[in-house]
Each structure stands twice: as structure tokens, then as C-alpha cells.
């Protein structure tokens, strides 16, 4: 399990910004109101341009190419 906590010296007034730095595309599926959609190769440009650190969700059986693209762009 990964817990992400970031603290910056930039804000002296104690302001907390509620941003989990996670990209999720919620879509209605069936009788369940919303579920996260699997990201695919078509989403690569969008994900690489995002300022978020995390994304949900990927399924290698649906499209493993997106994982290879994202891994090759890690620096």
C-alpha cells in the first residue's frame, strides 16, 4: 500500500490544497453508478501531458501497450 504525502515550504499561511494528483476517468457502467475506465493506448498523450503523479486504472489484458508507453517516458 502506498500513502502519498507531500509537504511544501512554499505556503506559509498553512493553506492545504485538496489534490490527490491522481487521474481517474469515471464512467457509468451497468447498474453501478460509476466505475473507473481502463486507460488505453489512445489515452497516452493525455496521460503524458497530465500534471498528476498517479492514474487509475490500467488492465494489461485490455491494452498492455499503454503501460509500455508510460514506462518508456519515465525519467
> Each residue of 1-54: pLDDT tens digit?
555 565 555 556 667 667 788 999 999 988 878 999 999 999 999 999 999 989
Q: What is the pLDDT of residue 61?
A: 95
Question: What is the C-alpha separation between 35 and 29, in angstroms, rounded?
Answer: 7
Q: With 90 as the cut, is the pLDDT of residue 59 above it? A: yes
Q: Which residues pair with 24 in a beta bridge?
A: 56
Q: pLDDT value at position 9?
A: 54
Identify the pLDDT of residue 49. Answer: 96
How far apart are the C-alpha atoms of 54 and 12, rounded to whole Å?
A: 27
Spatial CA neighbour of 3 closest among 24, 21, 23, 25: 21
Amino acid at each position: 500500500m502506498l500513502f502519498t504525502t507531500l509537504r511544501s515550504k512554499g505556503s506559509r499561511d498553512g493553506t492545504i490544497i485538496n489534490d490527490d494528483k491522481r487521474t481517474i476517468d469515471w464512467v457509468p457502467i451497468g447498474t453501478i453508478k460509476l466505475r473507473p475506465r481502463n486507460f488505453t493506448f489512445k489515452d497516452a498523450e493525455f496521460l503524458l501531458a497530465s500534471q498528476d503523479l498517479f492514474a487509475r486504472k490500467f488492465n494489461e489484458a485490455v491494452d498492455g501497450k499503454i503501460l509500455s508507453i508510460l514506462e518508456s517516458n519515465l525519467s
